[in-house]
Structures are given as structure tokens and as C-alpha cells.
Amino acid sequence: MTDLTRLNAVDLAGLVANGDASAVEVTRAHLDRIGAVDDRVHAFLHVDSDGALAAARAVDERRAAGEELGPLAGVPVAVKDVLTTKGVPTTVGSKILEGWRPPYDSTIVERLRAAGTVMLGKTNMDEFAMGSSTEYSAYGPTRNPWDTDRIPGGSGGGSAAALAAYEAPLAIGSDTGGSIRQPGAVTGTVGAKPTYGGTSRYGLVAFSSSLDTPGPCARTVLDAALLHQVIGGHDPRDSTSIPAPVPDVVGAAKLGASGDLTGVKLGVVTEFTGEGAEPGVMAAFRESVEALAKLGAEIVEISCPHFRYALPAYYLIAPSECSSNLARFDGVRFGLRVGDDGNRSLEEVMSLTREAGFGPEVKRRIMIGTYALSSGYYDAYYGQAQKVRTLITRDFTSAFEQVDALISPTTPFVAFPIGARTADPYQMYLADLFTIPTNLYGGPAISVPCGLSDGLPVGLQIMAPTMADDRMYRVAAALESSVGAFTPPAL
Amino acid sequence: MAAISREEVAHLARLSRLAVTEEELDMFAGQLDVILQSVAQVGEVAAADIPPTSHSVPLTNVLRDDVVTPSLTPQEVLSGAPDAEEQRFRVPRILDEDVAS
């Protein structure tokens, strides 16, 4: 008997479509797997068994009635707890929203349901998506299935770990500074950040609105592309949604799988191949660059001089937007309220509620943002960061006049031990050194497994021009066909 | 030299509506100082003539058609409220008692 949890989404969908397995069987297999391993992984904050089985039964009924099913119908998916799910708890990894059941679905979740995918539950994350290890979750860390003493990346560590632990074949993440790609890299899975505006932010709990981008996570490039196709596209409820069709990411992934990159020109980002990355990461990256060259790609070095300022610019822009966005957590309309004894004023209750409801990293970012936006500091900090953002965008546009896509390691280091970087917040920020420029520019980028360093996964990042998401899928699928998949040791 | 003092952090916490503890102030003062000194690197870039970027999508004045569409019921909207009364969010007092009376 095939272990259904080991199959990819495309194969599971095929089994369901052909009647070789029911959606209920596929769903039960994954729920059983979650029951067997999640006490050790802690990828999920909430498992919606009843909702999942009901959704699976609906798919089986539609098939029995002869209805045509979509390409991912009956396939389970894990959803990062940053997206609202009607009637299903949504915490954003924070105590301030503990027990909240949203009255509406986010657009991404609405599209997942419409496509007949089966939502298994909500995955763990750093509180409000602020972090690179999932250690800042108010509900305890997620563990890396490759080594449960190590972090699974963040903020979307739960989604990535669920894939690597075979608890789900597909997952949704959100990427503000690398929160899809970095967890993908350190868990040996695929994580794609679509073009900003290519996926809807409606119902995505806001962290940094000019950067937040929901996107697909999977174990293979084709699965990620299929999920991207389902969730992507214009949404009139998001005013920054791009009114254009989703690039043909599925076609590109299939084209890339043929392993031919003839005519594709790739630029290795000079600034990201010197100091800053671990030797083991660089060794795996260099081998992959050779593999890409063997597939026919032309490889050149490209300098992007302002990328070194991306990290400081990001840690001004994102906290500034966060300090404004998180003002809505005031103990009035949803979530926690603390200290309302009938005597305290609204302002006192608000301050006590936010003090009790937010964790230390969220507080740090709110205060940094408040500082950077305050009069007297605005020009030197937030204003200057916005100008640097322009220069980083120019680095990208100039690079894309010379090459089709840029490549780099996804992260400077492999999964680190839990607790290794929490004492010094800035050390945690360095995990996003290579992923942040793309967010500031707004283009798409994908992390694909490219090798191992001391038995831990390394990811290669492909960055493409805005609305050329298909390009990165082609290159990623080609690399995947060459280096293969990486399977973690049994849990 | 420190970029930010403990007193300034206390002020930021008040502006941010965070009732932080004394222990937190000690911790945050050092951490915010490290972070601010690091992000201050953006000041090294000569960018006087560079226009700022607030957003990567060049869309302006995105409007929808003025048509009525279904929306949440008052019960749904209030379902997550810590306190509600007569189809409204109930909040603690906003004015001082002597002013209110």
C-alpha cells in the first residue's frame, strides 16, 4: 500500500481524479501523520480535522456526480496562521488574537476552497510574521524535521516543517523579508514569493503592507507552481493587486523539468557570494551553479552595489509600517482586552492589553518603527530607507537588462540550533540578508533545494523581474531535475 | 555613543501604548540601541537627489464600481469583540470622570 503522505500534490490529485484514492483517504492519511509526528514537530497551531474531512467528502461527491475537478482537487494544504479562515482560529502566532475566529475567509483561502483543496489546519509562525526561526511564536517553537533541535526557519517555519515532515504536501506562506524562502531553504523544501501584488493580501493580517506577499510552499517546483496558479491573480478587494493574469508558472515548471536551460542567462550576485555565507552553503551553491551551466545556462557575475544596504533599509521600512499596522490591536474590536475594571481609561486598558498580548520582538519592532517615523528622525531613518529602496530597485532593473534572472544562496547559514540567536535580535535579522532585496524591489523569487551542508539542507534563490514569475519556475525546475530532491531522516 | 537612551525608550513605549515593565526597559534599551546603530548604515548612501519609493506597484486611485455587495452582519462583525452592547463595540471610558459627569 502506497504511503499517501509521501506523494507529491500532482500525484495525489491524479489518484483522486482517477478514483484510485478518495479525497477522504488522502486527507485521513495526512491527519494520521499529523497525529503521529506533530507533537515532535509542532508545525500546527490548529488542526481542523472535521473541516478537512467535510471538504474532502465534498470533493468525492463532486467527482461521483461527474463534475470536472480542478488540478489540485482533493489535495491537502496547510495554511500559515497569518491568513483569516472563517470560523477557524487565526492567531498570527500571537496571544493578542488567541481564540479569535474570523468572520470571513482571506482571498487566498477562498481560492483554495474553490479549487477543492482540503485545508488541514493552521501552521505555526513567528508572532505577526516577525522572525526567522519560528522561535518568536507565542505558542512555542516549531522544530526542523531534519534535526528537531534546530529551527525550521521563519517566520513560516510551521508551513515548511509540515512539508518536510510529510504532514502536508502543500502549504501557504507569506513573505515580507524572506518568510517563505528562508524556511524553504533550511527544511529542504520549495518556497516561492510571487511578485508583490500577484497574490492578494485581503485577509492577510498586515505586518508591512508594502512588502507582505502570500505565496506557495511545496516539496517540488511543479507543485509550488500549481498552487501559485490556484491562489494567484487579481483581487478587487486588494487595492495593490495587479490587474493582470498569473504568468504561466505551471507551463514554465514543466518546461524547466526537461532540464534544458539553453539561452537562459543567469547572474550570480557578487555581493552575496563573498563573506557572510557559511563555507558549506557556498560550496553547495557553487556546485549548483556548475549544474545550471551544464544544463545550458550562461552564467555571469552581476554586481548590485546597493544590496548591502537592503537589510538596514528593510529594518527601518518594515518596522515603520508595522508600528502603524499594529495600532489596530487595541482591545476594542477583536482579541484580547486586559485591565478593563470599570475604572481604568481606554488608554490605560489599551496599553495593558498590548503589553500583555505582544511578545518582545513585536514590541521591539513597534518601537523601532515609532522612532523611525517620529519627527526629527523621519528624514534620517524612514525617508532615507525609502530612497535606498529606490536604489535597490534600480540595481535590479539594471541587472535584468543584462540577465534573465539573478541567483544567490537563499540564506547565509543552514538551520541553526534553537536558542542560538534569540539573545541578540540583530543576529536573527541576518538570516534574511539575501532574501530582503527582492521584497524591497517587489519582484518574485523562489528557493529550491540545491544540496546539503553537514547533512542539513541548503537552498538556492532565483530572483526574477516583476511579473516574470514563470522565469524563476523554469530555472528552479531545471535545477531540481539535475540535483534531485532531499529527503530528511525518519522522524 | 548610544543611539538611544533608556528614557527615550520609555517615551517610545508610551507613544506605542505599551505598558512595559522596568525589566523590559532595561532589556529593550540595549537591544534597540544595537538595532538603531546597525540600521543607521542607510545614512552612508548618497541619496539626496533620489526619489523615495513607498510602494513597488505603480497603481494610483484604485476605485471600485459603486454597487452594493453583500457584507458581514453586525453579529458577525461583533463576534470577536471583547465587549459589545446594542450592536456597538463597548469601550472603557475615554474621558476623565469629572469631565464625564
pLDDT, tens digit (0-9, with 9 covering 90-100), for A344-388: 999 999 999 999 999 999 999 999 999 999 989 999 999 999 999
- Separation between Cα atoms, residue A34 and residue B32, nearest integer Å: 39
Assign 3-class secondary structure to A59-128. HHHHHHCCCCCCCCCCCEEEEECCECECCECCCCCCHHHCCCCCCCCCHHHHHHHHCCCEEEEEECCCHH
Mean pLDDT of B64-82: 93
**CB-CB: which of B35, B50, B57 is closest to A242?**
B57
User: Is A453 an annotated catalytic residue?
Assistant: no
Dihedral over Cα of B35, A447, A275, A125: its sign: positive
- Separation between Cα atoms, residue A489 and residue B74, nearest integer Å: 51
User: Is A179 an annotated catalytic residue?
Assistant: yes
For residues A55 and A22, is the Cβ–Cβ distance under 8 A? no
User: Does A26 score more than 60 pLDDT?
Assistant: yes
Q: Do A103 and B76 touch (CB under 8 A)?
A: yes
Single-letter code of the amino acid located at A433: L
For residues A209 and A319, is the Cβ–Cβ distance under 8 A? no
CB atoms within 10 A of CB B96: 9
- Separation between Cα atoms, residue A58 and residue A118, nearest integer Å: 10
User: Is A122 an annotated catalytic residue?
Assistant: no
User: Does B100 score more than 60 pLDDT?
Assistant: no
The string of DSSP codes covering A239-297 is TT--SSPPP-HHHHHHHHHTT--TT-EEEEEGGGSSTTS-HHHHHHHHHHHHHHHHTT-
Q: Which residues of A touch B88 (CB under 8 A)?
A: none
Give the strand order in the sheet containing A213-218: A44-47, A118-123, A76-80, A170-175, A213-218, A190-193, A445-453, A456-463, A405-409, A265-269, A298-302
Give the largest CA-CA distance in chain B: 58
Scan for cell 464625564, then name that residue. Answer: B100
Single-letter code of the amino acid located at A380: A
Q: Do A210 and B56 touch (CB under 8 A)?
A: yes
For A268-271, the CB contacts below 8 A with 24+ separation are A268/A299, A268/A300, A268/A301, A268/A302, A268/A406, A268/A407, A268/A408, A269/A302, A269/A303, A269/A304, A269/A307, A269/A406, A269/A407, A269/A408, A269/A434, A270/A301, A270/A302, A270/A303, A270/A304, A271/A303, A271/A304, A271/A305, A271/A307, A271/A308
DSSP class of residue A4 equals G
User: Does B95 score more than 80 pLDDT?
Assistant: no
- Separation between Cα atoms, residue B3 and residue B34, nearest integer Å: 8
Q: Taking a contact as any Cβ pair under 8 Å apart, which residues of chain B between 42 and 101 contact chain A? A: 42-45, 47, 50-57, 59, 62, 64, 72, 76-77, 79-83, 89, 91-94, 96
Render pLDDT for A168-185 as a digit per residue (tens, 0 to 9): 999 999 999 999 999 999
Dihedral over Cα of A277, A280, A286, A288: its sign: negative
Helices B6-15 and A360-373, axial angle in degrees (round to 10): 90
Distance of CA A128 to the CA centre of its chain: 13
Mean pLDDT of A310-331: 97
Distance from CA of B50 to the nearest CA of A (A): 6
Single-letter code of the amino acid located at A414: V
Model's pTM, two decimal places?
A: 0.97
Say what the pLDDT of residue B58 is: 80
Q: Do B17 and A387 touch (CB under 8 A)?
A: no
In 3-state terms chain B splits into helix, strand, coil percentages (rounded to 5) of 40, 5, 55
Render pLDDT for B7-58 as a digit per residue (tens, 0 to 9): 999 999 999 999 999 999 999 999 999 999 999 999 999 999 999 999 888 8
pLDDT band at A276, cuts 50/70/90? Answer: confident
Helices A279-294 and A469-483, axial angle in degrees (round to 10): 100
Cell of B11: 517615551
Say what the pLDDT of residue A268 is: 98
- Separation between Cα atoms, residue A310 and residue A409, nearest integer Å: 16
Say what the pLDDT of residue B33 is: 95
- Given A22, A94, A132, A155, the catalytic residue: A155
For residues A370 and A378, is the Cβ–Cβ distance under 8 A? no
Burial class of residue A237 (count of CB atoms within 10 Å of its CB; 0-12, 13-18, 19+)? middle
Say what the pLDDT of residue B63 is: 87
- Separation between Cα atoms, residue A430 and residue A68, nearest integer Å: 47
Q: Does B12 touch chain A (CB under 8 A)?
A: yes
For residues A259 and A481, is the Cβ–Cβ distance under 8 A? yes
Mean pLDDT of A431-451: 97
Say what the pLDDT of residue A89 is: 98
Say what the pLDDT of residue B1 is: 61
Distance from CA of B80 to the nearest CA of A (A): 5
- The two beta strands, A405-409 and A456-463, are antiparallel
Render pLDDT for A146-176 as a digit per residue (tens, 0 to 9): 999 999 999 999 999 999 999 999 999 999 9
Distance of CA A57 to the CA centre of its chain: 29
User: Does B97 score more than 60 pLDDT?
Assistant: no
Q: Please, which residues bridge with residue A462 across strands?
A: A407, A446
Distance from CA of A167 to the nearest CA of B (A): 30
CB atoms within 10 A of CB A86: 17
Q: Which ipTM did the prediction report? A: 0.93
CB atoms within 10 A of CB A113: 18
Q: Do B24 and A345 touch (CB under 8 A)?
A: no
For residues A221 and A476, is the Cβ–Cβ distance under 8 A? yes
A120: phi then psi, degrees, rounded to nearest 5:
-80, -35
Say what the pLDDT of residue A273 is: 87
Mean pLDDT of A380-404: 97
